[in-house]
Amino acid sequence: MSSNVSSFVPEVARSEAEIIAGLRQLAKAYAGRIVFSSSLSYEDQLISHWILANQLPIRIFTLDTGRMFAETYEVLQRTNARYKTNIEVYFPESAAVERLVNSKGMFSFYDSVENRKECCFVRKVQPLNRALEGAACWITGIRAEHSANRQEMPQWELDEARNIWKFHPLLYWSEAEVKALVKEYAVPFNPLHEQGFVSIGCQPCTRAIQPGEDFRAGRWWWEDASKKECGLHKA
């Protein structure tokens, strides 16, 4: 890897203006090799807005595991229509899904952490790795508030396994700050967010949370909190 993202963005890009300027510099420095992975969450929708409204040459993609909520597909369609774009969609390999389902059933992920991580690997990690092929810089919507594992995460870091630089522009933002701009710019968002779903993934693995519960309580709720990672952002 020839460049470090810290050469192009401040050590801490905190304000909206700093983030947009940083994204613009990164798009120039990594021309044709910079991508943004969107889960269509509040955070990712705001970053997509910054990229698309400012016509930044950053490729945007999302992962379709085959088990998403209907509302998630609808927000993808509304986003494409609003910004006159075509967010790329990556699917899991059908043969890998067939092997998993035929050998362990449709709901093997409920049986053990190992089974759940296997399902995540087939449906999410492998498609992500394909989507990142050839990229040198990866933009994400991670925020420190998302989980205890992300509290000490730097805003930019090297994913050594994939040999790719990662930039987390909203790392230090609060949920309230993100929502405020989504509302101000009338950015399309998933209506499930207003029904208590704060972290939205696959339908069988996501539930609404109750007041006072942790942000990630609604994801893989049957597991210990310390194990709630799917491998997309494995350290």
CA 188, CA 109: separation in Å to the nearest integer?
31
CA 43, CA 190: separation in Å to the nearest integer?
11
CA angle 147, 182, 81 (to 5 degrees): 115
Residue pair 142/171 in contact by the 8 Å Cβ criterion: yes
End-to-end Cα separation, the chain, in angstroms:
18
- List 34's β-bridge partners, or say none: 137
Per the annotation, the verdict on 119 as an active-site residue is: no
Helix (H, G, I), strand (E, B) or coil at 206: strand
Please tell me which residue in 119, 120, 205, 230 is annotated as part of the active site: 230
Tokens of 171: 């790392």
Residue 210 exposed, middle or buried by CB count within 10 Å (0-12, 13-18, 19+):
exposed
CA 14, CA 185: separation in Å to the nearest integer?
19
Catalytic positions, please?
Answer: 230
